[in-house]
Amino acid sequence: MLSPLCLAEPVFRLHLASEPINLMPSQQKTSSASYLMHNLYRNLFTYDDDQGLIPDLGDSCKRENPLVLICKVKKNLKWSDGSPLVASDFLKAYQRILDSKESAPRADLLFKIKNALAIYKNQEKMESLGISSPSPDTLRFEFAEADPDFEYNLASIQLAPIKNQLFSAEKANELVVSGPYRISKWIQKEKIVLENNPHYKSGNADRRPKVEFLFVAEDSVALQLYEKNELSFLRRLPTLYIPKFKNRPDFLWVPVIRFDYIGFGPELKKHPKLREALALALNFPELKKIFSAEGMPGCVGVPLSFVLKELCYRHDLQKAKLALSQDKNTPTNLKLMYSSLGGEDHRRAAEWLQSQWSKNLNIKVQVVMRENKVFLRDLQKETPSIFRKGVAPDRPTCLATLETFANWSSENYIQLNESDFQSILKKLSETTNLEQQKKICTLGLSYLMDQFYLIPTGPIHFAMLIRPEFQGWKLNSMNQLDLASLKTKELSQTETKKPFSK
């Protein structure tokens, strides 16, 4: 006999770690709501790991020359309310993002456009912006300097067009969107319910199943819900459970493009030998075993296709102690800060680092956890001596990764401002030759590691669980979940009784 849940209309349930503050794509400061946002809003392109950029709301983009890009928007596009969606809607989005009053966190994605930065600084008028819409299906971008990565920005949800703003959760169903789903209901402190947007024609346009995003802060609680069949997709399996679950058919290892790291704040800027000691004192193979990791901690987490060689720190206690002995006036009262958004795994990792430095170097480090908004505020205003930061590049390129530490980047929490590194960034932004890109990328990453500005946490693989009755979903290495083609399949009576035995 089938369970009551199986007889009901199929619902794809997943969870967010916290309730969204807003649903404005240009206002997203973290990736915590990205799965939701990516299915409400779309841009000209989406990114596919095998095919690269593929058309979404756009039809094509072509370079007239290195400083001029012409993009075509698909004809007959519609918003979720059935009204026309045209090129000028994209232009309005760019203008809004560059309005300094909006305080869009990723306005920098447009800064290489002619006059964009000056407009953002209120030094030029919006009319001078190097973006125009000469026809309802055409966008013209004129650049102030070369930006070979810019097409990837046109797959970013943060640059997606909007038609209206959501001011009240009670009126969530009035939000007009461009993606495969629209909001049916928002029950505060509980869930957001999505229904199919039939005006988004790509994928399974007519029969997409209902989707619910539950608000579940703890990964362990989310796992319990999944095991009770109350979640269809578990976005993050705590590493403690990986050995137990990794042989199950619903287990997934998903490699993602990230550059997570342990960073050193301004307090340690004048202590390169202390930074070296802290990096080399860590037993990375032990950490790999503790977390059942696929990649080796201490190695740069970018794909090997980005670089000429693997770049790693190796555990060397003798060198670590020698470096420490060469440091003058070693600071006391060191703090290691991390965000609560990382869950139980980040707490365990922080405590392991604390233990390693105490045992191997006799250095006492206080571990401090902060709620994510407070953590980000502290990184900006009172950067701690040591911190753990996750970096999800907005483009699948080395330039996007290294620009995290550009002197203009709001994410440059290690406050790197050396001209040599800025020169590397400039060279990387000016070349389209793949071998040259690899060479310069390797040079840039080596610069960060040779100076011990940070400790990379290694290649990242997300451990996930998903029920087999749902198919058609796509999850790329940018950790973008695409439910446009989501569908269900009928399971046999045996499968629905208990598909995964413990």
Give first-to-last CA distance, the chain, whole Å. 21
pLDDT band at 8 (very low <50, low <70, confident <90, very high): low
Q: Is the pLDDT score of 494 beyond 50?
A: no
Residue 404, both tokens: 């995290």
Q: What is the pLDDT of residues 174-214, one digit of tens each?
A: 999 999 999 999 999 999 999 999 999 999 988 999 999 99
Instruction: Report the b/e string of 190-224 with b at 16+ CB within 10 A.
Output: ebbbbbbbebbebbbeeebbbbbbbbbeebeebbe
- For the cut 60, the answer to whether the pLDDT of residue 492 exceeds it is no
Cα dist. 277→331, 354, 388 in Å?
13, 14, 17
Q: Report the candidate in 479, 461, 484 with the shortest Cα–Cα distance to residue 12.
A: 484
Given a cut of 50, whether residue 315 has pLDDT beyond it is yes
Find tokens 């030029």 and name the residue: 124
Per-residue pLDDT of 334-358, as tens digits, reads 999 999 888 888 999 999 999 999 9
* Pairing status of strand 52-55 against strand 474-475: unpaired
Q: Confidence band (pLDDT; 50, 70, 90) for 294?
A: confident
Q: Three-state SS for 485?
A: coil
Question: Where residue 490 falls among pLDDT bands split at 50, 70, 90?
Answer: low
Phi first, then psi, for residue 196 (nearest 5°) are: -60, 135
Other CB atoms within 10 A of residue 52 CB? 12
> How far from chain centre, in Å, is Cα 369?
21
Question: At a CB cut-off of 8 Å and minimum separation 6, what does 257 contact?
Answer: 302, 303, 392, 393, 396, 401, 477, 478
- Please name the residue that has the structure tokens 């609560």: 340
As a whole number, mean pLDDT of residues 151-162 equals: 94
**Whole-number mean pLDDT of the chain?**
91
CA distance linking residue 84 with residue 79, whole number of Å = 6
User: Within its chain, how far is the Cα of 262 from the centroid?
Assistant: 17
Hunting for tokens 């009784």 — which residue is that? 497
Interhelix angle 272-280/343-361, rounded to 10 degrees, is 110
23-57: pLDDT as tens digits: 888 777 666 788 999 999 999 999 999 999 999 99
User: CB–CB of 396/152 below 8 Å?
Assistant: yes
Backbone angles phi, psi at 388, to 5 degrees: -105, 125
Q: CA-CA distance, 200 to 259, in Å (whole number)?
A: 33
Distance between CA 148 and CA 175 in Å, rounded?
34
Q: Report, as an integer, the average pLDDT of 86-114.
A: 92
Nearest to 334 by CA among 271, 284, 281: 271
Domains (range + CATH), the chain: 1-41+163-232+467-502 (3.40.190.10), 53-91+106-159 (3.90.76.10), 259-460 (3.10.105.10)
Angle between helices 343-361 and 317-325 (to 10 degrees): 70
pTM of this structure? 0.85
In this structure, what token pair is assigned to residue 301?
């987490």
219-227 vs 343-361: helix crossing angle, rounded to 10: 130
Our measurement of the distance from residue 414's CA atom to the centroid of its chain's CA atoms, rounded to an integer in Å, reads: 19
Q: How many CB atoms within 10 Å of residue 405?
A: 27
Strand partners, 233: 466
pLDDT at position 219: 87
Name the token pair of 406: 């550009």
What average pLDDT does range 101-127 have in this prediction?
92
Contact 180, 38 (CB under 8 A): no
For tokens 């990205």, the residue is: 34
The model's pLDDT over 213-258, given as tens digits with 9 standing for 90+, comes to: 999 988 889 999 999 999 999 998 988 899 999 999 999 999 999 9
